[in-house]
Amino acid sequence: MKSISELRQDIVSGDWVVVATGRALRPNDFSKKQESRLMQSKKDCPFETLHKHVLVTYALDGGKGKENWWVEVVPNKYPAFGKGDCVITRQSGPYLLRDGVGFHEVVVTRDHTRSLALMNDEEAELVVRVYQERYLALKEEGCVEYIAIFHNHGPKSGATITHPHSQIITLPVIPPDLSRSLKGSSRFFHKRQGCVSCLVLKHELKAKERVVYENLLFAVLAPFASKTAFELRIFPKRHAIHFEEMDSGTRFAFANALRTALGKLFYGIKDPDYNFFLHTAPVRDGKEFHHYHWHLEILPKTAIWAGFEIGTGIEISTISPEKAAEFLRKIKV
């Protein structure tokens, strides 16, 4: 059976890219006018009639019943990854490629309009619990090297459905962005005998310049070298390698930090489009990645990459992270 996507390796950088042939876009589809963010009606929303496709349902009362459901997980109707052979790397001329093997799930919250930014801590914690439990279930599957958890909000982020939802994709390779993060973390550890993120946290929590919010267990920072205006990162204050190993108390604190960070963006800069994603150690034995410190990154779509950014890989941010943090600290959520 032909796989629904291919992983192709760049012959110069060694980075893997996905060619999702199973999604079957025609060339003229790319010329269609982009729609502005107009809320889709409930009757036209595909996420309002999910029950026959659901993998698991979560209720706010702690159960998994369908009556009081708050979060449902379904297979993606148009997955980027699917069945195939994850072991065989094939040659095509000078190039290498593999089947795009994996799972692609959608995490849907019940309210048609209320995003994570507007949830309470209990509601947000249940979303994070679903991320964690699906991660733990999927890591037991074959061919899983990494599990990507991400959320697209608004059309500029790539979201095609306005109803709030997140996505989980398993990959048979370690993705390039995480690979660079792991290598940088390892390089710093071997040079300085310590975790780079722990060093950053110690400095930032003392200086306070770029701290947007903190609770007992997590800190929300505007990174010193922010890639875009109002970029935020959420770090556990204690060194932790794997996101999925949080206990319930830590999970609640993380949900509080995530909801608060998104709420400050919602009220502070008028509900921007954004992406957020987790960076955590790969699913294999954590001893190999003992130097890594998991975190979540939030990237508001405050600018469009132009020729300079695309051609050089150097992003331009139009506000300093110090001013962004100072502004967002004052926003009440």
pLDDT in tens, 128-157: 999 999 999 999 998 999 999 999 999 999
The CA distance from 199 to 189, in Å, is 11
Amino acid making up residue 312:
T
**Both structure tokens of 58:** 């979560």
Average pLDDT taken over every residue of the chain: 88
The CA distance from 27 to 82, in Å, is 23
Amino acid making up residue 167:
Q
The answer, as to whether pTM is greater than 0.75, is: yes
Q: How confident is the model at residue 22 (pLDDT cuts 50, 70, 90)?
A: low
Residues 6+ apart with CB under 8 A from 205: 211, 214, 219, 237
Domains and CATH numbers, the chain: 6-175 (3.30.428.10), 177-329 (3.30.428.10)
Q: Which of these, 56, 235, 258, lies nearest to 153 by C-alpha position?
A: 258
Q: Which of these, 39, 108, 97, lies nearest to 72 by C-alpha position?
A: 108
Q: Which of these, 241, 200, 198, lies nearest to 223 by C-alpha position?
A: 200
Q: How confident is the model at residue 30 (pLDDT cuts 50, 70, 90)?
A: very low
Is the pLDDT reported for residue 31 higher than 90? no
Q: How confident is the model at residue 96 (pLDDT cuts 50, 70, 90)?
A: confident
Q: Which of these, 282, 260, 264, 280, lies nearest to 272 by C-alpha position?
A: 264
The CA distance from 259 to 54, in Å, is 25
